[in-house]
């Protein structure tokens, strides 16, 4: 396999660079590439990381799983781009300096329309997409979440409509579920379908792989950003090796219990930016990452600059805390936490409201 300047050979780990655009200074913007190819043919797993430049535990996990010994262990191929956003990494920032928007919202979407020419970030994302859409049988995208966040996995909802039938979407969702469960961290479903597309999450790395290319793909949120968290790094490496076992790239069965942590609740959950402050002030959180909460439980107190109590903000849902928002100064309607809340919704949903075809129907 060849990706950029990295050309693999059976039983070897190849490294190289993938040029994705040229900079005004005359040098190319290059993404590091590692390709491990086994002696026997098999599936191809893609691992991507650090599309947000300050989410560095994912970067470390991607680097550390690609050992010199990996090619001798596997059948098939593992392709890794440990840094999708070198411009963000250079300044330790979520975004790049050539496009200060979220770089994880520009991957191809068949419904996206614009009269303007594509931005540099959109061109970069399209070139990355073309590379994995042509070769990947599965993809894991590595991120980190809020400061002090617990590690968890985001499972996108599978959309059906013009791209696939409802039956095909169910098959894709089942493949996705087996890979996410094999990884071994708590699974949090993505936002409900309407909010999912409102936030352009179908144009994220994993969202585009799943809902455009039809590749089982999920996002691993590996703790907090800015610094590498050593224990989560080790768990992330083992989680990726579990995915390889589930795919048949590595021999043996996955051991998700070796990764952790265990989900705090037994019912299915979805991601929610919740609750929000209804008054400005100074927030004092009453909860931490991993805490279980019930509807009506206090999440934070809002006080004045003098320390006098103004309000108590309660949860509207049952679930648990994934992480708290950074900082304590809050304005009206500012979110206070990221939570996993009870989810009774479907995992296979129509892309558009009028896409309600039954199994086997052409869509």
Model confidence, pTM: 0.95
In this predicted model, what pLDDT tens digit does every residue of 244-275 receive, in sequence order?
999 999 999 999 999 989 999 999 999 999 99
Angle at 243 between CA 238 and CA 245, to 5 degrees: 90
| All domains of the chain in start order, with CATH | 2-258 (3.40.630.10), 269-342 (2.40.50.100)
Under 8 Å between Cβ of 191 and 111? no
- Residues 112-163: tens digit of each pLDDT: 777 789 999 999 999 999 999 999 999 999 999 988 899 999 999 999 998 8
The full DSSP string for 167-219 is HHHHHHHHHHHHHHHHH-S-EEEPSPHHHHHHTTGGGSHHHHHHHTT---EEE
Give the closest residue to 209 by CA, choosing from 235, 180, 187, 176: 176
Judging by beta carbons within 10 Å of its beta carbon (0-12, 13-18, 19+), is residue 170 exposed, middle or buried?
middle
Q: Is the confidence at residue 224, as pLDDT, over 70?
A: yes
């Amino acid at each position: 396999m060849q990706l950029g300047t990295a050309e693999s050979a059976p039983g070897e780990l190849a490294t190289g660079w993938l040029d994705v655009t040229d900079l005004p200074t005359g040098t190319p913007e290059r993404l590091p590439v590692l390709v491990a190819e086994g002696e026997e043919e098999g599936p191809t797993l893609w691992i991507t990381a650090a599309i947000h430049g300050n989410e560095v535990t994912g970067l470390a996990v991607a680097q550390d799983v690609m050992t010199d010994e990996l090619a001798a262990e596997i059948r098939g191929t593992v392709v890794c781009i440990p840094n999708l956003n070198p411009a963000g990494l250079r300044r330790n920032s979520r975004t790049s300096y050539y496009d200060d928007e979220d770089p994880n919202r520009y991957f191809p979407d068949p419904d996206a329309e614009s009269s303007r020419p594509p931005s540099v970030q959109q061109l970069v994302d399209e070139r990355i997409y073309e590379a994995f859409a042509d070769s990947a049988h599965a993809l894991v995208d590595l991120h980190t979440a809020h400061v002090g966040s617990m590690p968890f996995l985001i499972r996108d909802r599978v959309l059906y409509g013009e791209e696939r039938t409802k039956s095909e979407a169910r098959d894709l969702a089942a493949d996705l579920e087996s890979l996410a469960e094999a990884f071994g961290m708590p699974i949090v479903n993505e936002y409900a379908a309407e909010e999912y597309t409102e936030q352009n999450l179908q144009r994220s790395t994993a969202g585009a792989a799943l809902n455009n290319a039809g590749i089982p793909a999920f996002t691993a949120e590996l703790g907090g950003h800015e610094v590498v968290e050593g224990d989560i790094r080790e768990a992330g490496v083992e989680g990726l090796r579990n995915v390889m076992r589930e795919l048949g790239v590595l021999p043996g069965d996955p051991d998700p219990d070796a990764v952790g942590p265990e989900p705090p609740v037994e019912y299915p959950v979805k991601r929610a930016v919740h609750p929000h402050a209804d008054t400005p002030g100074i927030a004092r959180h009453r909860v931490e990452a991993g805490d279980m909460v019930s509807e009506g439980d206090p999440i934070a107190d809002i006080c004045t600059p003098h320390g006098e109590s103004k309000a108590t903000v309660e949860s509207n849902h049952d679930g648990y805390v994934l992480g708290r928002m950074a900082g304590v100064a809050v304005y009206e309607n500012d979110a206070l936490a990221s939570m996993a809340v009870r989810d009774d919704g479907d995992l296979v949903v129509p892309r558009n409201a009028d896409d309600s075809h039954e199994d086997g129907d052409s869509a």
